Chains A and B, each alone.
Chain A
């Protein structure tokens, strides 16, 4: 069976061992982070560096310790052990100076139903020393036309955008986005992605958590995958998906047509469908195509695809869940 490129695991260790060049300042630095709830250890020794100006996506199944980790970094939860530094501050101290420089977009928040969009944003401008203009923040999230609308009349997607507007109103250096596009229709998601790209081009650091792997693949400079309280993979989406030309070859094959030559050992034949994970798609494909051409037949449904981040993610998480008790 195909497995993710072996450099994935080593990416984790190398990025920790080798110090980054001093020119790249860290926005978030985490060392040996642990957090227990009674007997259950939700986070079991996590190291993580997030650079300034980077969009970092933290992924992982429910129960992986993702939310706990992010909430410790945001300052909402205390930690059991380890070091956490956010923009030079310890978030556990809850200092106002730190909160002036970060923006937090939580998952489930309901804005005041009876205030208008503009009033909500204006209310929040007062909390920060150097806020954006309210209209500017609304333009960034595409809510300019709803400025005078009361919150209770907004659609679900518009409310989510208001959440983001309230997160960026303080012109933060570091923005936490917790599942920012859940419940969005495809158009709204594209617009949200453009907005995150816009923030990135302004030099903001973004820590994103999401269940949409395509979202991470589209937006993130680097991706970290958590399972069972640990970071099991870290790297750019390209690194994780394999730079060595990893590919998945698929075609339909009934079996009545005779056996094609040289099916690789790791080929999976299931319900008339052949799936081959390989890092040498050309070499695997050549004899198959030659055989089909010689037999004067097609390989129906033939596709050669690069494994998506989702494929890699599912594979890595499944492996981590098997390994750890």
Chain B
């Protein structure tokens, strides 16, 4: 079987395995919606200023949570999945079979990307139905590009972080410990207009804020252009590339004991 077909097959098995764990599947699907509903309720669905006009808080959150869904599905889930597979000896066993390494990891990444896209669709549909949020039409290609670049980059970051996770017990702490603080300062959950400048500058060093901006621009109903944010996407991509290089150098197949 060709490597590509094997990678696609792996996607199927990953998916079957996930669906068989209903708690995991349910919360993966419902998590972004909970954030959307809770944040909109907490901060009030008032009008907020955006580039070119004002939109509802829900519009801001649909875009932000869409970006967050991709980050969560690709970075967090890939990092956890790979860290566990490594610790349980699954990676080592597969390394001993003819399954090419890239097909194994590619299968995991592709599955995560698909999950991320499904979550984006759920969040966007929910926002459209319950909050009357405008969805991108003319800027749809820009939105898809941002989501695609983000998926690939954050999946690479997930694999990179999995290489530094000492064991599966430590995985949630390490994986979330890196990402969660950044989530709060990157304009994803909390609008950062009133935040001190040093904090915004600090957040700009990391890819989350740039991902959020790229997605939000494409979701902005007042966007006059096509909604592309090449500079912000380039920073996200650079992080992905650096992560991929780091992972290819330090990736371990065996459990650390």
Contact = CB atoms under 8 A, between A and B. Distances in A.
A62 B143 CA distance: 57
A112 B100 CA distance: 19
A100 B98 contact: yes
A322 interface: no
Interface stretch (A119-127, A194-202, A209-217, A252-260): A119-127
A114 B96 contact: no
A99 B9 contact: no
A70 to B, nearest CB: 12
B96 A115 contact: no
Interface stretch (B32-40, B85-93, B222-230): B85-93
Contacts of A110: 88-90
B89 A109 contact: yes
Contacts of A114: 16-18, 20-21
User: Interface residues of B toward A: which range?
Assistant: 20 to 34
A126 B16 contact: no
B97 A124 contact: yes
B97 A150 contact: no
Contacts of A75: 96
A123 B253 CA distance: 19
A147 interface: no
Of A113, A114, A166, A170, chain B has the most CB atoms within 10 Å of the CB of A114
Nearest to A110: B88
B122 interface: no
Of B93, B95, B99, B253, chain A has the most CB atoms within 10 Å of the CB of B93
Contacts, number: 66
A32 B88 CA distance: 33
B134 interface: no
A111 B17 CA distance: 11
A112 B96 contact: no
B100 A108 contact: no
User: Interface residues of A toward B: which range?
Assistant: 20 to 34
Nearest to B1: A126
A179 B89 CA distance: 15
A305 B92 CA distance: 44
A128 interface: yes
Given A110-B88, A119-B16, A99 B93 contact: no
B13 A99 contact: no
Contacts of B255: 108
Nearest to B17: A114
A111 to B, nearest CB: 8
Nearest to A102: B96
Interface in A78-130: 96, 99-100, 102, 104, 106, 108-115, 119, 123-124, 126-129
A126 B21 contact: no
A74 interface: yes
Interface string B67-100: 0000000000000000000001110110111111
B89 A99 contact: no
A150 B98 contact: no
Contacts of A123: 9, 13
Interface in B6-33: 6, 9, 13, 16-18, 20-21
Nearest to A128: B98
A115 B17 contact: yes
Nearest to B92: A106
B229 to A, nearest CB: 39
Nearest to A94: B95
A108 B87 CA distance: 10
Given A76-B92, A126-B1, A127-B6, A112 B97 contact: no
Interface of B: 1, 6, 9, 13, 16-18, 20-21, 88-90, 92-93, 95-100, 253-255
